[in-house]
Amino acid sequence: MVLGCGKPSSGFTWYSTAEEVTEGVDATNLTVIVTGASSGIGAETARVLAKRGAQVVMAVRNVSSGEDVKRRIVEEISNARLHVLALNLSSMESVRKFAKEFEAMSLPLNILINNAGVMACPYELSADGIEMQFATNHIGHFLLTKLLLDKMKQTALASGIEGRIVNVSSSVHSYTYRGGIRLDAVNDKSGYDSWSAYGQSKLSNILHAKELARHLQEEGVPITVNALHPGAIRTALQRHSRVVTLVHSFTSFLWKSVPQGAATTCFLALHPSVKGVSGKYFVDSKEAKPSAYAEDPKLAKSLWELSEKIIGTP
């Protein structure tokens, strides 16, 4: 269970859609990167931000699928400004290549949405020798954010518009990796548990947001960083889990639609009510309280140090 923080309600609910939470927002002066924009809530996020006028860079693993989504969006929104770039978050080489290609486009960057992810997949190591869920869900986004941060700082200072970084996490109450962040444990195939590994990676998304927010606040940089749980949504993300498929068959009425699942992401990206809010966790477009691990500053700092060690020199 996620507990409310007692702060004023945004006025939106579990049922609100991404279009509803961004209604009336003019994003024509904003450039956004959305990872995992070729399907699910990533594709819906790209569509809604484009509908509000933002220029959207769709960072996707499968470029062909990304181009298909782009075509569908342009059919609906004729003036949509969309770009499709290849990005495989499980490969640090691919992340670095994406950052260079984006830099070559000479675009500003106001908003970074770290949305892509994998869930409960079978044991596998990335090209860099890292457990796949931790590599994709956390390390890839950690490196990407680090590589793009200077561009975001330059854009925020030049435009006078607050930059925003949004990490799509989950509810870590059920899937928290007990004992904190232990890469050595999940890299050991003999002790591997796909859900514990998933929980570790999603916990890392929140801790990353909190620690980065602290760094930026200390620097006095006008960029906010927040994490969110989109809710239970039936998408391709769950393709590796028979349990999720079975549960969904009996409880489908409790699951969000994709437009509802993308709501909190779009809310944090565009809504004026969260201006200046940073280092927080949101559910249903409202600030919420995550697990105790997710609020542990020592754990956030140790994860940051581990992540820096893994990525090496950017």
Report how many domains make up the chain.
1
Q: Catalytic: which of 123, 175, 177, 192? A: 192
Range 102-132 burial, b when 16+ CB lie within 10 A, else e: beeeeebbbbbbbbbbbbbbebeebeeebbb
Q: What is d(CA 35, CA 167) in angstroms, rounded to the nearest whole number?
A: 10
- Inter-CA distances, 196 with 134, 179, 241, 289, Å: 11, 11, 13, 21
Residue 197's pLDDT is what?
Answer: 87
pLDDT for 2 beyond 60: no
Q: What is the pLDDT of residues 9-47, one digit of tens each?
A: 678 999 999 999 999 999 999 999 999 999 999 999 999
pLDDT for 184 beyond 70: no
Is the residue at 110 inside a domain? yes
Token pair, residue 79, equals: 């003036």
Mean pLDDT throughout 75-83? 98
Mean pLDDT throughout 100-105? 98
Residue 187's pLDDT is what?
Answer: 67
Q: What is the pLDDT of residues 206-244, one digit of tens each?
A: 999 999 999 999 999 999 999 999 998 865 554 444 554
The residue ranking higher by pLDDT, 10 or 174, is 10
Is the residue at 109 inside a domain? yes
Mean pLDDT throughout 193-204? 89
pLDDT for 134 beyond 90: yes
Q: What is the CATH number of the domain that holds 82?
A: 3.40.50.720
Is the residue at 267 inside a domain? yes
Percent of all residues in the chain with a pLDDT value above 70, rounded to a whole number: 85
Is the residue at 314 inside a domain? no
**Could you list the residue range(s) of the whole structural domain that residue 124 is in?**
3-306
- Inter-CA distances, 5 with 84, 208, 264, 288, 314, Å: 38, 20, 16, 5, 37
Q: What is the pLDDT of residues 42-68, one digit of tens each?
A: 999 999 999 999 999 999 999 999 999
The single-letter code of the amino acid at 72 is: R
Is the residue at 193 inside a domain? yes
Chain centroid, CA 297 distance in Å: 20
Is the residue at 190 inside a domain? yes
Q: What is d(CA 22, CA 18) in angstroms, rounded to the nearest whole number?
A: 6
Grade residue 297 by pLDDT with cuts at 50, 70 and 90: very high
Strands (E), 61-143: 81-86, 111-114
How much is the mean pLDDT over the chain?
89
Residue 7's pLDDT is what?
Answer: 42
Mean pLDDT throughout 150-166? 98
List phi, psi (to 5°) of 165. -115, 130
Is the residue at 300 inside a domain? yes
Residue 182's pLDDT is what?
Answer: 62
Task: Reduce the DSSP state of residue 36 to 3 states and report it.
Answer: coil
Strands 223-229 and 163-168: parallel
Is the residue at 75 inside a domain? yes
Q: What is the pLDDT of residues 245-296, one digit of tens each?
A: 444 444 555 789 999 999 999 999 999 999 999 999 999 999 999 988 899 9
Grade residue 4 by pLDDT with cuts at 50, 70 and 90: very low
Grade residue 3 by pLDDT with cuts at 50, 70 and 90: very low
Q: For residue 293, indicate whether it is catalytic.
A: no
Strands (E), the chain: 3-4, 31-35, 55-60, 81-86, 111-114, 163-168, 223-229, 281-283, 286-289
Q: Count other Cβ atoms within 10 Å, centred on residue 42.
A: 28
Residue 176's pLDDT is what?
Answer: 46
Grade residue 170 by pLDDT with cuts at 50, 70 and 90: confident
Residue 81's pLDDT is what?
Answer: 98
